[in-house]
Amino acid sequence: MTSAILLAMSKKAIALLQHKFNESKAANPQFSLRSFAQRCGLSPGSMSEILNGKRGISDKQSSKIATNLKLNPTERALLVNDPIEISAGIRKVSFLSRNHFFYITEGIHFDFLALMDTDDFVYDLHWLADKLGTAPERVQKVITRLKDIHVITENEGTLEKVKDHVSTTDDITDEVIQLAHADTLRLAKESLFRDSIHDRDFTSICLPLDPALIKQVKEKIRNFHMEIRELTRQGTKTEVYELAMQFFPKTKKKKGVRK
């Protein structure tokens, strides 16, 4: 591997970490470099030197950071110097505040954002209403709300996303997000009895588990989400699908067991 490739990979790794820090800062203005370093499992001094290009990242550090930040496979490849993924870009994410997410809790807002990425997308209220199975007036309301919170913008008669996709807080209990998940489960139930088995997939598995593995399982689930996202970039995109996975306890914890 040439030194030029190594240099490019190093710059991409730094850019990825800087982007992840900026994402957290956008979600929480009080988030500091010290907090980011702690999240990554490094000292503030080491993180500062890494971001300034004065210090490299060892394989051990790369693995630790990738795990702590729950990086998807593409992002992990950038950090651990995987030459196969050297040309991969860094996904730009819009982090929604609790108030903004509450404003667009209904799933149709996210359906609309996904529909924008289809190959035959048409900015026409009647076409959009037909695809989403709703009224043109409701589609207009969805567009207005997404503009209000700066997730999309209108430019010369076309709609554009401000960033690639949106995200909310992770691993934090929030009633607003719980309601959104409950709505997804409701829609999944409707699909179970409405849609052909050739157009959907419902599977489940019940298994014994050591609670110490829960963190690793959740990381694999998140990585799987991103793998599916990358896979669906192929082909001609004409429809919108929802991928929902449920991983939850079926037995009760004994009293006295730490949560």
Give pLDDT tens digits for 170-205: 555 567 678 888 888 888 999 999 999 999 999 888
Burial 126-162 (b: 16+ CB within 10 A, else e): eebbebbebeeeebeebbebbeebebbeeeeeebebe
pLDDT at 63 over 50: yes
State residue 235's pLDDT score: 92
State residue 230's pLDDT score: 81
Average pLDDT score over the chain: 80
**How many residues are recorded in the chain?**
259
CA-to-CA distance for 113 and 100, rounded, in angstroms? 15
What does the pLDDT look like over 66-76, one tens digit per residue? 888 877 666 77
pLDDT at 253 over 60: yes
- Decide which of 102 and 40 is more confident: 40
Q: How many CB atoms lie within 10 A of CB 62?
A: 18
- Decide which of 240 and 179 is more confident: 240
What does the pLDDT look like over 114-160, one tens digit per residue? 899 899 999 999 999 999 999 999 999 999 999 988 888 998 889 99
End-to-end CA distance of the chain: 47
State residue 98's pLDDT score: 64
CA-to-CA distance for 237 and 231, rounded, in angstroms? 11
pLDDT at 49 over 80: yes
pLDDT at 7 over 50: no
pLDDT band at 165 (very low <50, low <70, confident <90, very high): low
**Domains of the chain in sequence order:** 3-90 (1.10.260.40), 91-259 (1.10.10.10)
State residue 227's pLDDT score: 82
Spatial CA neighbour of 132 closest among 177, 182, 176, 187:
187
State residue 182's pLDDT score: 85
The separation between CA 231 and the C-alpha centre of its own chain, rounded to angstroms, equals: 15
CA-to-CA distance for 107 and 239, rounded, in angstroms? 15
